Amino acid sequence: MPLDPIFGQFHWAALVASPTTIAVKIALPLFYFTLHGWFATAMAVLALFRPYEPWYFPGTKLQLPLTPGIFPKRQAKLATAVATTITDTLLTTADIRGQVESLLTEQNIYATVSLFVDSVLLEFRDTAKLHRLASDLAELSPTLLHHFIESTIDGLQSGKETRVTTITEKLFDQVIINVKINPEQSNEIASRIIEAFLTPAKLRSLVITILSPQNINAIDESIQIHAGGPYKILARIIGVKRVCYEWRNFLEKEPDESEKVIGELIKRFGIQNQMAMAIQNFDMKSLPLQSIAKLKQNLVQFVETFLLEHKQDLLDAVTKIQGETLASVRAAVQRFNPESIPQPWIDRTKADLSSFAYAYLKRELGVLLEKAIPALGMYALITRKIELFSPAQLEKLVRRVCDRELHWLEFFGGFIGFVMGISQVVINALFP
């Protein structure tokens, strides 16, 4: 009998009459719907990524629908959505801060500082790098020194600079007040004082100035008023006033002889030795506290005044010694040998640096992260990175993440088509 069309209706008599026809009419709808479901799903998945560029109707500028693919066409919005999701949900400031705080331990800080110090010392063992560093630091040192002096004095002048006062006070407390002068130094100081201030000529001139008529009269009056009876009588017998005038006349009229006498007296009295002994035994700590505080204040004031009054002189001196500065810094860096540093000193330095870094970060971590995270621009960075992906790279990225799921999605579309084919066969059988 004649066969009905493949997707047409059929009746039960045809089923009984022709088994081959029955198999064909059952199998073909199942194959067709399964192929249709798989192909439609595969095309939908492909449309997510392809084509990479827009297509147009031949001979026109009309863009074909669904070109380019969904991801290439919406790449900017995808980048914005991904960046928003990451920065607002997956990688928030609180998450970053919590992770950093969990890693911020004394052991981790010490390990980082130790690695940094070891790396720096290792770099110093490279002679070529050490010489380059020496040259760079030497060329930079005059500029740094000039800027440091200028900024320090300007700050001191405006009242904003306190480092000079602090350094001077610490220098006084830790160095000057603890200075001890040995015998050789005290003898040298005493000798220089005598040579500069207590020469016979200067002492002669000083005594002449002191023994002026007014001072001689004042001496005589003081003796008459304050001296006791026997001493007053002795002064009258000796004639203090007359002796002073005689001594003054001798100093004025016989300069050479008087200077020899004064020089002989200095030697006989041992002025230099007594002065050296006094300098050697002098202990600044024995002074009253008020005197020490006043001395420290005067020293600070002297240093500040000197810097303010000699600013230009200091800057000119830095310019004049530029060559010496370059040579000194270069030689100092080149002579540096990391192996000469004692290991206990290196270990102590690592511990001090790590302790300082840990305390600082523990105290300032919140403020630093609040400033640093927005400054990193994570949102803009993620957006820009995704926007710079080519369509092929974007497809490769998505498929790397969910390629297996996309293939299963195609198979699921084929399964749905298969179920629809069975439904069609049943419907055609029940309603011929």
- Is 187 in the same domain as 324? yes
Q: Is residue 333 assigned to a domain? A: no
Where residue 66 falls (left for φ over 0; alpha for ψ -120 to 50; beta otherwise) is left
pLDDT value for 9: 46
Give the CA radius of gyration of the chain: 51
The per-residue DSSP string of 143-183 comes to HHHHHHHHHHHHHHHHT---HHHHHHHHHHHHTGGG----H
255: tokens are 């300069």
Q: Is residue 12 assigned to a domain? A: yes
pLDDT value for 14: 46
DSSP state of 341: S
- Is 40 in the same domain as 175? no
0.95 cut: is pTM over it? no
pLDDT value for 333: 65
Altogether, the residues listed in the chain come to a count of 432
Q: Provide CB contacts within 8 A for 51, sequence distance 6+.
A: 67, 68, 69
Q: Is residue 36 assigned to a domain? A: yes
Q: Is residue 401 assigned to a domain? A: no
pLDDT value for 18: 64
Range(s) of the domain holding residue 36: 1-44
Q: Provide CB contacts within 8 A for 257, sequence distance 6+.
A: 250
**Boundary residue ending a domain (285, 306, 328):** 328
- Name the domain count of the chain: 2
**Boundary residue ending a domain (283, 307, 328):** 328
Q: Is residue 287 assigned to a domain? A: yes
Q: Is residue 221 assigned to a domain? A: yes
- Is 173 in the same domain as 311? yes
Parts of the chain with a pLDDT under 70: 1-19, 90-91, 124, 126-127, 129-131, 133-134, 137-138, 228, 231-232, 234-235, 322, 325-326, 329-330, 333-338, 370, 373-374, 376, 432
How many H-runs (helices) and E-runs (strands) does the chain carry?
21, 0
Amino acid at 3: L
pLDDT value for 395: 77
Distance, first Cα to last Cα, the chain:
17
Q: Is residue 21 assigned to a domain? A: yes
Q: Is residue 187 assigned to a domain? A: yes
